[in-house]
Structure 1
Amino acid sequence: MKSKYFTFLAVFITSFFFSCTDDVEEEVYDKYQADEFYSTPEGADVALAAVYAQVAGNWGGLGYAGADNGWYDLNSMSADEQVIPHRNTGDWQLDFARLYKHEWLPSDLIVNNTWNWLYQAVFSANLAVEQLENAEASQAKISEAKVLRAFFYYLLMDDYGNVPFYTENNVTVEELPQASRQEVYDFVVSELEENVPNLSDTKDGEYYGRFNKWAGYALLAKVYLNAEVYTGTAQWQNCLNAIEELEAGGFSLHPGTANEASPNGYQYYELFGDRLPADETILAMFATANVVSRNIYTIRSLSGPHAMALFGVSGWNGTIVPQRFYDNYSDADIRKVQFLVGEQPGGVTYTPQVNSLDNPGADPYAGVRNIKFYPATPLDGGGASNDFPIFRYADFMLMKAECYVRLGNASAAKPLVDAIRERAGLSALEGDPSLEDIYDERAFELNWEGHRRQDMIRFGTFLNANEFRGESEEYRELFPIPTSALDANPNLEQNPGY
């Protein structure tokens, strides 16, 4: 059930309705000054809801996850965990294969969509900060808007490096200055360190899907985890410190017990369903198909007749899991249940091997399919209602283990890695974990959750050759600034290599 979050969104929808009808009832806003409105709890939530609406995925490449052709696809299909092949029947655009083969260009659709969405989100966050500060709203609400803005700038510097930077919406596009990755990193860290302690410590309820204190520390830990990539200086101890602050929120691993009533037969898969469980979920993206966002990932993966046989809607016959990635899983691992190969309902047989991504393309039923996000109702051919885990505790246990190993304390990392393995039905490691062990475990645990590109860059594997391309050049660790952005702003300098 999602009623409390609907209440939060309803404030935004109601406000939008009134703003669109003020020509009919102008006196509604004559009664209130804007500052007075945004100083109230209801008004502050309207300002924040407008920013959270940017997180939810939608068509046209908008949002963090849930739909297609946006941030999620850019960061997932450029890694090694998934791709949509062009089919030799003529189906599917070539953009996804180009991402997997590291052949993207500054003019590519998904590169542009991600950039445009993130700057639209920054604009919304700037506006919310201005509204709340002018109204002298509660510090917790102002800080929440600033943490959201830091989240969007974190995603921008992660993908694009040196990016346009502004915190007030009174600058035209052609005047926006370009900040270095170091400068954006410093801003993000400063904003988070200053504002996260002011956030609410409420878990779930009205803060399901919102940045509370624990989600704020999770974001700070992510920034510190990748600090060496962003700035050249590692921050492993600071990452550990942020995770320890997060742990004060009382999170734990959700059970992995077999349960026929659970999606895919195990309680573990409840982590990817409708209302995500509060024991492990730190921050979720809310989705209800055709109302707020959607989740297309299983429906996009399965073929038409197969999805019809399972769910009563047609699948898109799109996303596959590369065979190398699939083959790394142990048969005893309950996380392997999410992958489908061989004969399936609907008269479909999936073969693991994919011989071509683009020319001539893959056979119609070539490729391993994924049902990690087993569709939650309501659903239709345009997607399901699974919420999306932006941050969950298993990720941060593995981050903590990685920091311990990098700081020379592998014995402290062992119980963290073992707990995740044992939940998955695997045995504990025989010895202390290596960085390679942690890298592999992150792939097994977090596939299709938007973390893989970042992990591969941090561990130095992103440029390695795969079955469809040779070794990539170093500049591919950043995406290009879109051609349209360069045309609009003469202050911008393209990333090297493009």
Structure 2
Amino acid sequence: MSKRITKLLSLIAVITMINGCTKLQEKILDETSAAGLSDKQVADGLLAPTYAKLEDVFLHTNYFSLQEISTDEAILPYRGGTDWGDNGIYMQLHKHENVSSDANVRNTWNNIFIGLSRAVTAMDGLAKNTDANAKLYYAEARGMAAYYSLLTLDLYGVVFKKADLNKPSEILRGNDAVEYLKAEFLAVEPTLSTVPTVGTGRLTKAAVWGLLARLYLNAAVYRDVYATTFTFSQADMDKVIEYTDKIIALPEHGLVSDYFSLFNDNNHTNKEIIFAVDQRADLAGHNRMAYFSISGDQFPLPAYTGANGTDGPGITSDFYRTWVNANTLDPAQADPRFYKENLSIYSNPADSCVDASAFNINRGILRGQQYGLIRKNGVFSKCVNGKMLVGKLFYDTRSKPTKPVEFTELCDFTTAGSDYNTGFRVSKYEFSKTSVSGRNFGEHDIIILRLADVYLMRAEAKLRKNNDAAAALLDVNKVRTARVNGTIAQTGLGAITLDLLFRERGFELYWEMVRRTDMIRFNKYEGTWTEKTSTDVKKRLFPIPQTAIDAAAATPGYLKQNPSY
């Protein structure tokens, strides 16, 4: 045991050097704390931290911001000149004007590398562990190291390969990075569990198949990220089809009809989800996806007068218009994925009294005047019959009691476009009904991969391989027609092209942190939207944080900054 712990501690020192200023935060086993532990206890203790850092990677101000606010889908202005200014980092992110000292860029990098550090630490310990689960745990840890590295490749264009614990990692880019990640995922796939025996919060065969499909689909980008056009090889597309076929054939997974059930706070066993960040209460989940976009005067939980929104990002008018232009009806009446009405006062103004147990804010894209619980002097108002009073909301928390919470299509960086109410908002993930605060401890699992994305990846591969539009259309319509919201059922498309498929991915996967990756692959990232006019292809990658560059400066040429930063 003593030699094992010593080796783990030396490994942590090596990883920390690679990671610059990032430090491991978990308590490290020493000889005293490890004394008396069984191999099973040690194995469990090594694997758990490998997954635990995902919740920080997927915090709303980290990976979400990089993947969504940098795109045509989301925008976060300086609200009212007082909120979300943050030294301009969200405006820079949207305009593609990042600098290497940006907090969003640095924090996302640091959290990913802490996760990678933990995964490599677990691999070293599990390789010598004799517990019956050690082989499976080792495969999961190695697979998670590959997943964290897939994130660094996608965001920053680099992968750190550690072949010798006593030497610095080798930095891989381009095709070398792609081939390395392929090999890592393929090495662990045979050992991993089948679904759903270990749950969606851990790597399974299906999860790795999905990540391999995602890697192959984006391989052309990763090999030559600044290319004017990308060459999607038939061999890569064949692999996307192979791995998506494997997942679709599994009986354990299926598309669900209730779209928003995917994002409920009890979504842990939803059969459409393949891999997710496990955020249940007993695992100390703390994501804030439910509160990030909605108003500070929207209170989704009658039990908590302090659980409200924060007037964060809205969707851009450009993205909203894609919904409008795709439908002859209002998108709320045409597409079950756009909106779900839970409060009947929106369609019947007389329904102003609601049982606390039945109260639930609307979901999806929220527009116009908002209704909800009315809080005065820190207390929710009630009807004479004891039910919760529901009515028009005003910006009481902003000391603007006559200003209605009325979301507008306009949302930009002008004074008029950056008020508290500008921008249609997204209420996709549900406020947790059982959390100790609701606001800070969302218990819904954050989706990394789900079956609808698998179908859409297969459709794209078929289109890119040999323009098999008929087969691609079947996959797209399989997803579209699966969704039903009351009397609203989605109809199938009559034809499909790459541009239409890009649009469909936006409708199905909005707010799910794939938009930037999609826009780059579809050659849309240099387009113009709202406040963004940059056409610099070098902004496809984010800058490597200056802290990491500085930490590596002792070894000249070891870690080079990405071009244009």
TM bucket normalised to smaller: 0.7 to 0.9
Q: Hey, what does 1:463 align to over in structure 2?
A: 526
1:19-63 superposed Cα distances (whole Å, 9 cap, x missing partner):
59x8xxx5x74445xxxx44x3x43232111101111x2xxxx32
Q: Tell whether the 8 Å contact from 1:229 to 1:458 is kept in structure 2 after alignment.
A: yes
Q: Hey, what does 1:269 align to over in structure 2?
A: 260
Q: Which amino acid aligns with 2:180?
A: F
Q: d(CA) in 2 for partners of 1:134 and 1:283?
A: 28
1:249-328 to structure 2, matched below 5 A, reads 249-256=250-257, 267-276=258-267, 277-288=269-280, 292-307=284-299, 312=305, 313-328=307-322
Give the superposed CA RMSD: 2.4
Q: Hey, what does 2:471 align to over in structure 1?
A: 412
Q: Hey, what does 2:427 align to over in structure 1?
A: 371
Q: d(CA) in 2 for partners of 1:169 and 1:87?
A: 48
Q: 1:45 to 1:167 in 2, by over 3 A?
A: farther
Q: d(CA) in 1 for partners of 2:135 and 2:91?
A: 46
Helix, strand or coil at the partner of 1:197? coil
Q: Hey, what does 2:247 align to over in structure 1?
A: 246
Q: Tell whether the 8 Å contact from 2:60 to 2:287 is kept in structure 1 after alignment.
A: no
Helix, strand or coil at the partner of 2:500? helix
Range with greater deviation from structure 2 (160-169 or 83-92): 160-169
1:440-455 to structure 2, matched below 5 A, reads 440-455=503-518
Displacement of 1:360 after TM fit?
8.0
1:13-92 to structure 2, matched below 5 A, reads 19=29, 26=32, 29-31=34-36, 37-38=38-39, 40=40, 42-55=41-54, 57=55, 62-63=56-57, 65=58, 67-92=59-84
Q: 1:167 to 1:315 in 2, by over 3 A?
A: farther
Q: d(CA) in 2 for partners of 1:434 and 1:29?
A: 58
With the length of structure 2 as denominator, give the TM-score of the two structures: 0.75
Q: Tell whether the 8 Å contact from 1:284 to 1:390 is kept in structure 2 after alignment.
A: yes
2:188 to 179, 195, 198: 195
1:88-144 superposed Cα distances (whole Å, 9 cap, x missing partner):
332112212211111111110011111111111111111111001122554322211
2:101 to 96, 99, 107: 107
Identity of aligned residues (%): 28
1:340 to 351, 361, 366: 366
Range with greater deviation from structure 2 (124-133 or 281-290): 281-290
Displacement of 1:413 after TM fit?
1.3
Q: Hey, what does 1:10 align to over in structure 2?
A: none
Where is the helix percentage greater, Structure 1 or Structure 2? 1
1:431-446 to structure 2, matched below 5 A, reads 431=495, 433-446=496-509
Q: d(CA) in 2 for partners of 1:19 and 1:412?
A: 53
Helix, strand or coil at the partner of 1:301? coil
1:319-368 superposed Cα distances (whole Å, 9 cap, x missing partner):
21112212222421011101111111223333333353277860111110
Displacement of 1:315 after TM fit?
1.5
Q: d(CA) in 2 for partners of 1:231 and 1:212?
A: 27
Unmatched tracts of structure 2, length 5 or more: 1-25, 225-230, 340-363, 372-392, 395-403, 484-488
Helix, strand or coil at the partner of 1:495? coil
Q: 1:84 to 1:355 in 2, by over 3 A?
A: closer
Helix, strand or coil at the partner of 1:209? coil
Q: Which amino acid aligns with 1:333?
A: D
Q: Tell whether the 8 Å contact from 1:126 to 1:168 is kept in structure 2 after alignment.
A: no
Q: Which amino acid aligns with 1:287?
A: Q
With the length of structure 1 as denominator, give the TM-score of the two structures: 0.84
Helix, strand or coil at the partner of 2:337? helix
Q: 1:308 to 1:135 in 2, by over 3 A?
A: closer
**Residue 497 of structure 2 corresponds to residue 497 of structure 1:** no
Where is the strand percentage greater, Structure 1 or Structure 2? 2
2:550 to 482, 487, 491: 487
1:199-253 superposed Cα distances (whole Å, 9 cap, x missing partner):
011405x433100111111111111110110115631111111112223432554
Helix, strand or coil at the partner of 1:370? strand
Q: d(CA) in 2 for partners of 1:31 and 1:280?
A: 42
Range with greater deviation from structure 2 (80-89 or 132-141): 132-141
